[in-house]
Structure 1
Amino acid sequence: RGGHAYLGVAPGTSPDVHLTNNDYDCLSCHTGSEMHGDGTMVEQRYAYSKLPKCENCHSGTNAINNYHLAHYDDFNCQACHSQDYNNCGSCHVHGEGARIPAYQGFKIASNPLTLIKPDYDFALVRRAPAAPDSWQEYGVAESSTFDALPTYNYTTPHNILKWTTRTQVEEGQSCSYNCHIRNEGGTLVNKELFLFQEDLLDWEATASQGITVDDKLPASWFTEKAKN
């Protein structure tokens, strides 16, 4: 998954800028000491202290342009600099397999890792393959703790570009034209970029409702503007 994203294998995607501009491979960012670990048990992989950070190379960028000035403290870097990335869902292990087949998608949600990644309110999330009956073929008809975690996980796709379809706008358009939601004649343009409660399937609704963006975005985004 990571390699395919980095190489730009998926239709409509380009190789990661760290490959095309710098010819980086995995070890350019992920050191041996990181991969071997420090012997400390962590809650999950994003809690690991040795993970590389964008800021390790890109320091002092919080005020480098209007985008960063407006949103540096709102989103993780990938929310603006990632392309669409691979998702799948509802995996039935040793049964039907992924009942939501792999697809290229993009969703911004409320940050699901506020204790581990507390610096921003919103982050990219990737649909996870888990389902309540994933282990049915192993005698677990339905997981009793399925709703403990969201079905969309915090994610940092390795498919970075400086300019993406969300940040690159045509001349004369506002910088937010391809990313902020706006109401055009009752149609909410760009709404598909964000994870709403209505995007969740019935069996996902309880587990993931805490990270949806419902009532967390500016109310003005949903109000139709009067025509001049």
Structure 2
Amino acid sequence: MARDTAYLQVADALRARILAGEWPVGTRLPSRARFSEEYAVGQSVSQRAMELLIIEGFLEGRAGSGTYVRTPRKRMRVMRSRLRRLSGAGGRDGKGESWESHSKARTPAPERIAARLAIAPDDPCVVTTYEFLAEGRPIEICESWEPMAITDRTPVVLPEMGPLKGAGVIERMREIGVEVTSAVEIPRPARATQQQANLLGLSVGDLITQIERTHYARDGRPVETADIMVADRRAESAYEITFGT
């Protein structure tokens, strides 16, 4: 097996055997040394494969006992599309799902945010933190920044207040004559830091998806940027691509 993909192939094989019922829920798996011999790979490869299946929810490790088959977790699919962006946070709510948000005006932009918004460091922004909950558990955390040079002294300066309370960036900006025509999202896999783990109710080192998002006006100005964290064990991000007019 190719070195970089060997653990993925072993994980695929073990996942298929679990789904086929070879090891029922609650069964202790053979040792990684056994799998290393069976698949002709090093023990580190077997370990990575089993760790991946633990992250995916097929296995669980028990300290001092071994690795056991568990009931697979159900992961929510969070659609990321133009329609979702148009509908805003409130448009994603479903049964057992809710949003909580909090905004703070006149927050100085840190350098990384200023660079993404093409403004000077410490320029005042409105920062809004959104928490998406499903069955009472945090699924996604979003920290959104908007330059107050665009929204100050307008009815939409605070996303959670005013006539367009809960609306998305596109509708709110349109209300003040700014036409948003595009958004760029950059997803990256990561391991949860202590702060991220606390926010998402995870363990340090758990897999998360980090998404850097920026909305742009027709003239190319960035009008909003956000850092989004998704708890991988609870949800997957899916991108909808539409064609035609």
Same fold (TM over 0.5): no
TM range (shorter): under 0.3
Q: Which has the higher contact order (CA 8 A, sep 6+)?
A: 1
Q: Between Structure 1 and Structure 2, which shows a larger proportion of strand residues?
A: 2
Q: What TM-score, normalized to structure 1?
A: 0.25
When Rg is computed on C-alpha atoms for both structures, the one with the higher figure is 2
Q: What TM-score, normalized to structure 2?
A: 0.24
